[in-house]
Structure 1
Amino acid sequence: MQPELKLQLMDTHAGGDVSRIVTGGIRPLPGATVRAQMEYLRDEADGLRRLLLEEPYGIPEMSVDLLVPPTDPKAVAGYIIMEVMGYPIYSGSNTMCTATAVLESGIVAKQEGWQSFMLEAPAGLVHIDAFVRDGVVEAITCGGLPSYIDTYQASIHVPDVGNVNYSVAYSGGFYALVDATSLGFALTLDEERRLSDCAYRIVEAIRAERRFSHYTLGDVGPLPFLHFMGPVEQLADNSYRSRSTTYVHPGVICRSTTGTGTSARLALMNHEGKIRPGDRLETVSLRETGFIGEFTGVRQEGPHQVVENTITGRSFVLNRADIVVNCDDPMVECAGLKHILTSAHPE
């Protein structure tokens, strides 16, 4: 008999974005770093991502995070992020969900009040501060990637949309930042489909015209993301709020405002001289969920002012389950997957 093939999962969400945390069922991956293991998964075992984000197991709006042993002794766990567009090296909402799963699964014992630990993302070490009350994880603060403005106030003509002004930030991926009000959007839930269609047209127009290069990573591919920005409201001397929404893939608008989108906003506000270190921006989604980005510092990297920041939010556990992988199911493609399952015979 063929052994039963299965994965252990913990489904979570942060701000509405669902992250499936793979907690067991995958063999150790080759690679001296989590980044190298991510590249192996991408190039040799993409079946795991496709299995959990496509029918019949998942939908493109979800994300998957595979827990792996850390390669840096400072970290308690490593994690590889998988989304419909591929393998981002960092994500704020996925980091919040992974940190919560690490606590809920007992990899890190919960302590009342604030506690700190490190995770290892493909982008490198990430500092985590977690707040626990009565055994419940109520907040996760994670270090956002250093963010900067690549392009400020460019303009492009977009078919069926018109002339669009945009800036481009890097915050773990390149983001086009677009003022929502200028295009007639109030960033409410009933606009979700129109926001997705509009963002797709803008991103495709920018992709056809230019590419972007990171100052250390080089060419990281075509522009992937667009972040619609609502008006900024000042709540107090160092506190701001803005409605926001992020487009990540044709037909996919994130349910949260995204951590990297919030980091990109901080970079833009710093570039425009509108915030100072210690200031906070709460981004509010179409579903009225929010993340809080804090501008913690700035440094000069060549021509760029690079913004250091943290992102705070909350992740909720939705489900703990075993997924049975039936390779006889005509809707299941086991190529690129079976060789990394612990329950499969070595090939």
Structure 2
Amino acid sequence: MSYRPHAQAKSLRLLDTHAGGDVSRIVLDGIADLPGDTVRARMEYLRDDADGLRRLLLEEPYGIPEMSVDLIVPATSPQAVAGYIIMEVMGYPIYSGSNTICTATAVLEAGLVEKREGWQRFILEAPAGLVQIDALVKDDVVEAITCEGLPSYIDTYRASIHVPDIGDVTYSVAYSGGFYALVDATELGFKLVKEEERQLADCAHRIVEAIQAERGFSHYTLGDVGPLPFLHFMGPVHQIADDFYRSRSATYVHPGVICRSTTGTGTSARLALMNHEGRIQTGDKLETVSLRETGFIGEFTGTHQAGEHQVVDNTITGKSYVLADSSIIVNPEDPMVKDWSFYHILESSDDDAS
């Protein structure tokens, strides 16, 4: 006996994945074509006219705030195999390393890109632009994804701010797909272990609120991208080999939420800081290790000058695992769905058409 949904219900096909512990819910099917001549424009349409889809998939009863959502859309560039729109509890980031690793894995596992043994290369289109992907497949399993990190730079170096109930905090600010406050965990008494997760989230929230109240930040081409949203706790950097470093890390993204992974953009921000301090050379790698002992590897691939900023080029490498291949039913009679702004973009199923 199979389930027969309500006559007006719609369904979405999902591939749930995780990279470093961060769950990314990949929406493969069930959404109609969105207006917009770029993936960025389609993202803005969702944000302004159909934000209920993000809320549906990240709030009860369908999801939780710690998850992310990546909606597969047709690419607008002929170079790209697919586009993707990133949705998180704080909104619509234009780029994310962990989400890109998960999306690249999903397009391979779902057959949108044919898997080939060994290394293969393709391009995805994010709201931030084109992203080169290198995928390693062994015995038909996606073992690693290397993706381009956004060009990253240091906006502010070792500023100080007084935070109520914490004291004076020294921080730097990097842009790596969003603005990050970078703080030394040791100076705040943290060892960056899982037992500290709640205290880390509370501490980060207070620091971010204090910085937001004091100042804003502007990107050299994007301009005002809103208040600083993220904070990255940095553990001591240990040199493992001539060209390889490792550091414990934790990334705050939203009140109460520390990412399960170290985040790709957080790792890119660390590379920018290490370059600013003269602690890393082209070809060097940094592995950031999370509270859950998972890691991403960032590689410093070079620099270029953009106005007054020395911008770091980098890649991020990680592995994504498939958790579930499923569909969800969206029922218009469900009182738990609080925002129906998205319902018009859901595709009708064959049953609906009949």
Please, what TM-score do these two structures have when normalized by structure 1?
A: 0.98
**Gapped runs of 5+ residues in structure 1?**
none
Matched positions, count: 346
Query: How many angstroms does 1:49 deviate by?
Result: 0.3
**Aligned partners of 2:8 and 2:331 also within 8 Å:** no
1:17 counterpart = 2:22: yes
SS in 1 for 2:75: coil
**Aligned partners of 1:185 and 1:191 also within 8 Å:** yes
SS in 2 for 1:102: helix
Q: Pick one of 47, 52, 66 that aligns with 1:61.
A: 66
Q: Supply the distance in 2 between the matched residues of 1:288 and 1:4 (Cα, whole angstroms).
A: 41
SS in 1 for 2:298: strand
SS in 1 for 2:205: helix
Q: Pick one of 3, 7, 12 that aligns with 1:7.
A: 12
1:164 counterpart = 2:173: no
SS in 1 for 2:196: helix
In the other structure, the counterpart of 1:190 is 195
Counterparts of residues 30-41 of structure 1 (less than 5 Å): 30-41=35-46
Q: Supply the distance in 2 between the matched residues of 1:334 and 1:249 (Cα, whole angstroms).
A: 21
1:302 counterpart = 2:303: no
Q: Supply the distance in 1 between the matched residues of 2:111 and 2:166 (Cα, whole angstroms).
A: 50
Q: Supply the distance in 2 between the matched residues of 1:160 and 1:294 (Cα, whole angstroms).
A: 37
SS in 2 for 1:204: helix
| Cα deviations by residue, 1:37-86 (Å, 9 ceiling, x for unpaired) | 00001000101100000000000000000000000000000000000000
Query: How many angstroms does 1:330 deviate by?
Result: 1.0
**Aligned partners of 1:8 and 1:24 also within 8 Å:** yes
Q: Supply the distance in 2 between the matched residues of 1:77 and 1:138 (Cα, whole angstroms).
A: 21
Query: How many angstroms does 1:2 deviate by?
Result: 3.3
Question: RMSD value over aligned CA atoms?
Answer: 1.1
Q: Supply the distance in 1 between the matched residues of 2:348 and 2:104 (Cα, whole angstroms).
A: 26
- Cα 1:166–1:41 change in 2 (3 A) is same
In the other structure, the counterpart of 2:231 is 226
Letter aligned with residue 24 of structure 2: S
Letter aligned with residue 207 of structure 2: I
1:319 counterpart = 2:324: yes
Query: How many angstroms does 1:206 deviate by?
Result: 0.2
In the other structure, the counterpart of 2:3 is none
**Aligned partners of 1:243 and 1:284 also within 8 Å:** yes
Q: Supply the distance in 1 between the matched residues of 2:57 and 2:19 (Cα, whole angstroms).
A: 18
Q: Supply the distance in 2 between the matched residues of 1:338 and 1:154 (Cα, whole angstroms).
A: 46
Query: How many angstroms does 1:327 deviate by?
Result: 1.5
Q: Supply the distance in 2 between the matched residues of 1:93 and 1:333 (Cα, whole angstroms).
A: 28
Q: Supply the distance in 2 between the matched residues of 1:290 and 1:223 (Cα, whole angstroms).
A: 24
Query: How many angstroms does 1:4 deviate by?
Result: 2.8
Counterparts of residues 249-268 of structure 1 (less than 5 Å): 249-268=254-273
Letter aligned with residue 224 of structure 1: P
SS in 1 for 2:102: helix
In the other structure, the counterpart of 1:286 is 291
Q: Supply the distance in 2 between the matched residues of 1:320 and 1:48 (Cα, whole angstroms).
A: 19
**Aligned partners of 2:15 and 2:27 also within 8 Å:** yes
SS in 1 for 2:213: helix
Query: How many angstroms does 1:333 deviate by?
Result: 3.0
**Aligned partners of 2:9 and 2:332 also within 8 Å:** no
**Aligned partners of 1:15 and 1:313 also within 8 Å:** yes
Letter aligned with residue 245 of structure 2: Y
Query: How many angstroms does 1:98 deviate by?
Result: 0.2
Q: Supply the distance in 2 between the matched residues of 1:176 and 1:300 (Cα, whole angstroms).
A: 22
1:242 counterpart = 2:252: no
Q: Supply the distance in 2 between the matched residues of 1:301 and 1:214 (Cα, whole angstroms).
A: 11
In the other structure, the counterpart of 2:143 is 138
SS in 1 for 2:299: strand
Q: Supply the distance in 2 between the matched residues of 1:321 and 1:148 (Cα, whole angstroms).
A: 40
Query: How many angstroms does 1:334 deviate by?
Result: 5.0
Q: Supply the distance in 1 between the matched residues of 2:327 and 2:154 (Cα, whole angstroms).
A: 43
**Gapped runs of 5+ residues in structure 2?**
1-5
Q: Supply the distance in 2 between the matched residues of 1:135 and 1:6 (Cα, whole angstroms).
A: 29
**Aligned partners of 1:68 and 1:79 also within 8 Å:** yes
**Aligned partners of 1:327 and 1:334 also within 8 Å:** no
**Aligned partners of 2:192 and 2:291 also within 8 Å:** yes
| Cα deviations by residue, 1:264-320 (Å, 9 ceiling, x for unpaired) | 000000000000110000000000000000000101111100000000000000001
Q: Pick one of 117, 120, 123 that aligns with 1:115.
A: 120
| Cα deviations by residue, 1:117-173 (Å, 9 ceiling, x for unpaired) | 000000000000000000000000000000000000000000011100000000000
In the other structure, the counterpart of 2:333 is 328
SS in 2 for 1:262: helix
In the other structure, the counterpart of 1:104 is 109
Question: Percent identical across equivalent pairs?
Answer: 77
SS in 1 for 2:165: coil
In the other structure, the counterpart of 2:50 is 45
1:76 counterpart = 2:78: no
In the other structure, the counterpart of 2:211 is 206
Q: Supply the distance in 2 between the matched residues of 1:327 and 1:162 (Cα, whole angstroms).
A: 50
Q: Supply the distance in 2 between the matched residues of 1:305 and 1:69 (Cα, whole angstroms).
A: 34
Letter aligned with residue 102 of structure 1: V
Please, what TM-score do these two structures have when normalized by structure 2?
A: 0.97
